[in-house]
Structure 1
C-alpha cells in the first residue's frame, strides 16, 4: 500500500508536498524546475508560509510529482482543505497595527521571517540600541507571518507585564494551544521568565518566540540577531541625488521629510546636507525621526549646522510629532550598562580614526584575545559599534554619535537623558 490514505488524514498540504517530493528523490530546486515554479514557492509551501496554494500551482506540482489516481486525489484534497475558510472562532490573532511605514529593512525582515517559518528557529532575540527600530522590525515580521502563513500573534509589552504566575502560564498555554503562533516579548530589557518559556515550548509545539531587548539575555537554544542602524551614504554620493536616495538611512529620512513637507524633493544642492545629516546620526532611525521633526522650521543645512557641536544639543521636537526622546538618552543608557572594561575599550576605539578589526582591538589594548573579542561582541550586541564591509575580514567602526559623546561631558549627557 502506498500510504496515501494515511497521509490524507495526518498531513497538511505542506508536509504532504515534502513527503511526496522526498519519496521520489527530488530536491526543492529540481521540483521547482519540473513544475515551472520558483524554488522559493516550493520552500514557502513546505514550510507553511503559503497556506492557500492556487489550483493551477497544485496541478503543476501533481504533474511534476507524477501523481495519479488515489494519490493525486489525496494531494489535491489536502490543498483544498488548507484553502477552506476556517471557523471564525479559530481565526488567527492579528498583531498590533504599526503606526508608520517600515523603510530600509527589507533584508532584515526576510532573514527573520525565514528563521522562524523556514528554518524552524523557536527562540530569536533582536538586540540593539534604543531607537534602532527593533519593535518596528518585529511588527513587520509578525504581520508577514500572520498574513502569509496564517500564524496567530500574541504581543506582550514587557514594560507593562506583571510577573507571570502559574495561572497566567496556564492561560497562555491554553491560548496558544497547538496552532502556529508567534509570541512577541517586546522590550524584555529586564529579562524573560525562562520557566514560562520552557513550559510553553514543551506544551505548544507550534510556538515561536521573538524577543526584543537592548541587551540580550543568554537563553538555551536561543538565537541573537544584533540590529544595526540603517546604512549611511559615503561622501562619493553627496552630489548624486538619485544614488543617494537609494541608501537606507536617506530613504527613511526622506520619508519623514516628505510626510512633514509634502512635495519635498531631494535637489542636487541640498543632497550633501542630507547625506551629512544621515552620517552624523549614524542612520539611527530614532535619531533621524527626531531630526526630521524639526524640518518644518529648519532646512537640512541648518540641521547640520545645529549638530556641528554634537547631536545632543538638538532637543526633541514637540510631543505632537511623535514623542521621541533625546538622542543622548539611548546612548547614555547603553553606556551605563557597560562594564568598566567594555567602556574603556569603547573609549579607546572611539579615539581611533576609521574602522578596525578584532585583532586591532587586541593590539591596541594589550588584553588577552578572548577577553577582547568577547568585549567587542558585547559592544556589537549593544549597538554602540557596527560592522562594515571589508575584503580582508570582519571589521567594525564606532558610531559617530559615540565619538561625539566621548568628546563631550558624559555626566551632562546622562543628566539630559
Structure 2
C-alpha cells in the first residue's frame, strides 16, 4: 500500500532523491530558498508559474509536470503523483574534473518576467470569470479591461488569478534541465498561435498612493524603469514599453481616477501593451471593456440536506475558511440552513463571508447567524497582513464612501431610507433637498452605480430600478442616522409613498 504524502513532503523527497539542496532547487526554479522551505513544510502553495518551474527543476516529464502543477494548486490530490523516487536520473557527477564540474553548473537564470505576488491560498470558485477575462484579454482588439465591483467582491484576487493564467505561457516554456526544447511544457498561445505576453505580466499596487501624479512613478518602479533627470517619467515608460508585448495589472485604481489619461497614453505609445485594471469605478476611457465582478453564487435558502448547497461558491468559501479557523468544522444537514442564510445575509461577498467564517472559532453557524443582524458591527478582525480597509466590512465600505464628492455622499446616505431599491423618480422625490445643485437624478444614480455602490436592476414592470447590497444599504442608513437630515428624509419617503398609494387607489376605481 502506497504511503500517502502531502504535496510538500512529495517535493522534499523528490528533491532529496535528486541530491539537491533547497538552495540548489531554488536556484533552478528561480525562487528563494525560503519559499522552497515553506512549500516543503506545507506552509505555502506555489503559484502556477513557480509550480511549472519546480516541475522542470525536479526533472518531471510533460505528463508528470501537468499533474504536478495541478497538485500544487490543490486541484489534484498528491497521491495521484508518481512516487517521488520514480525515474530518478543517475547521481550527479562530482566536481572531481573540469568536465564534471562543468556538467553540474546551475543553469543561468532567465530574467524574471513577472512580479506577481504569490497567493497564500487557492482561489475558491470563479472558474468561469477567470476563463472569461483571460479570453477577453487574448482578443486582438481588446487592450483595456477593468474589473469593477463593490469592495469585498474579490476583484484583486480574480485579477491575480487571470494574470497567473496568462503568465503560464511564459512560465511553461522553460525546458527541464538536460532535456532540451522538446521537454518544454505545453504553452498557452494567442489566437495566432503566439505567446500572449512574451515580455511578462506585471503587477502595480496603487492602493498605497492617493495622488494621481504618483501613478507613473509607481508603474515605473514595478517595471524597474529608472527615472531620468532630463525627461518626465512618462517618457521613460513610453520608451521602455514601446516595443514590448506585456500585460500591466493596475490594482486599486479608484483613488487615482484622474490618472486614467496616463493609461490611455501608455496604450497609445505601446501597441503590444494590454492593461488589466481593478477599480470600484470605471475609468471612462475609449476602448475600455468593463467586466463587473458579481458576488459569489448563492445557495437556496432552507436546504433539505448539506449536499444540496455544498457546491455553491459562497458555501465552499465559507466552509474552507471556517475549517481554517476551527479544525474539524464540517457542513452538515443540521447546520446547512444556517450556513445558507449567512451567505445570503452577507450578499455573497467574499470578504464578508471570510470574516464571518473566522467567527466559527467561537460561534456555531446558528449562533453566528443570530449575531449577523448588524453585520457591520460583527465582521471585524480580518487578517493583519491585509490592508486596513479589508480587515473589517465597515472599513471596505468606508473606503468607497470617502472617495465620493459631497453631493454623491449626500445622495448615497439618503438612498439608505429605501428598502429593496427605488426608481429614479422615487429617488428624485425623496433625495433631492433644498439647496442641492440642480441635476438630472439619473446622473447621480448612474455615478453611484459607476462606483459600484448601486446596482441597476429591472423592476417587475420592466422599468429601471437601482438597488444596494444589504450590507451597503445598512451602511448608508447608518450614515443617514448620523446626519441632521434623517427625519426630513423619512418624512419625504413617507409622503412620496402615501401619494403614490393614493394615485393607485384612484386608478383602481376609475372605470
After TM superposition, the score normalised by the length of structure 2 is 0.55
* Structure 2 residue corresponding to 1:107, chosen from 117, 128, 137: 128
- Deviations 1:196-218 (Å, cap 9, x if unpaired)? 43443233221101112233333
Aligned to 1:123: 144
Mapping 1:155-234, distance limit 5 Å: 155-160=203-208, 162=214, 163-164=216-217, 166=231, 168-173=233-238, 175-188=240-253, 189-191=255-257, 193-194=259-260, 196-234=262-300
- Counterparts of 1:214-363 in structure 2 under 5 Å? 214-235=280-301, 237-317=302-382, 319=384, 324-339=390-405, 342-343=408-409, 345-347=411-413, 349-354=415-420
Larger RCO (alpha carbons 8 Å, 6+ apart): 1
Match of 1:374 in 2: 443
* Whole-angstrom distance in 2 between the partners of 1:410 and 1:196: 37
| Correspondence for 1:95 among 102, 108, 116 | 116
Work out whether 1:140 is the aligned partner of 2:161: yes
Aligned residues: 326
Q: Is the 8 A contact 1:125 1:223 kept in 2?
A: yes
Residue 89 (structure 1) shift: 4.9
Contact 2:413 2:479 in 1 (8 A): no
CA contact (8 A) 1:226 1:381 kept: no
Deviations 1:18-41 (A, max 9, x none): xxxxxxxxxxxxxxxxxxxxxxxx
State which drifts further: 172-181 or 329-338.
172-181
- Shift of the alpha carbon at 1:279? 1.9
Cα deviation per residue 1:246-304 (whole Å; 9 max; x = unaligned)?
A: 33322221221233334432112211211221122222111211122222222222222
CA deviation digits over 1:59-86, x for unaligned, max 9? xxxxxxxxxxxxxxxxxxxxxxxxxxxx
Deviation at 1:403, TM superposition (A): 2.9
Aligned-residue offset at 1:245: 2.4
* Pair 349,243 (structure 1): closer, same or farther in 2 beyond 3 Å: farther
Determine the C-alpha separation between the residues in 1 that align with 2:159 and 2:258. 17
Return the offset for 1:226: 3.2
Q: Distance in 2 between matches of 1:394 and 1:241?
A: 37
- Tell me by how many angstroms 1:160 deviates: 4.8
Q: Which residue does 1:22 correspond to in 2?
A: none
1: CA distance, partners of 2:352 / 2:263 = 34
Other-structure match for 2:104: none
Residue 383, structure 1, aligned to residue 452, structure 2: yes
Native 8 Å contact 1:228 1:386 kept in 2? no
Whole-angstrom CA distance in 2 between matches of 1:359 and 1:382: 21
- The answer to whether the 8 Å contact 1:312/1:326 transfers is no
> Structure 1: how far apart are the matches of 2:238 and 2:121?
32
Gap regions ≥5 residues in structure 2: 1-107, 169-187, 190-194, 218-226, 434-438, 484-511
Query: 1:390 Cα shift?
Result: 7.5
Q: CA deviation at 1:327?
A: 1.0
Query: Retained in 1: the 8 A contact 2:445–2:466?
Result: no
CA distance in 2, matches of 1:378, 1:247: 32
Contact 2:145 2:290 in 1 (8 A): yes
How many angstroms does 1:153 deviate by? Answer: 0.5
- Per the normalisation by structure 1, the TM-score is 0.65
Is 1:398 the counterpart of 2:468? The answer is yes
Q: Which moved more, 1:158-167 or 1:173-182?
A: 158-167
Question: Matches of 1:228 and 1:375 in 2, distance apart?
Answer: 22
CA distance in 2, matches of 1:238, 1:345: 38
**Cα distance in 1 between the residues matched to 2:454 and 2:261:** 33
Assess, with a 3 A threshold, how the Cα gap between structure 1 residues 133 and 142 changes in structure 2: closer, same or farther: same
Aligned CA RMSD, in angstroms, stands at 3.7
User: Alignment partner of 2:250: what SS?
Assistant: strand
Structure 2 CA distance for aligned equivalents of residues 202 and 321 of structure 1: 34
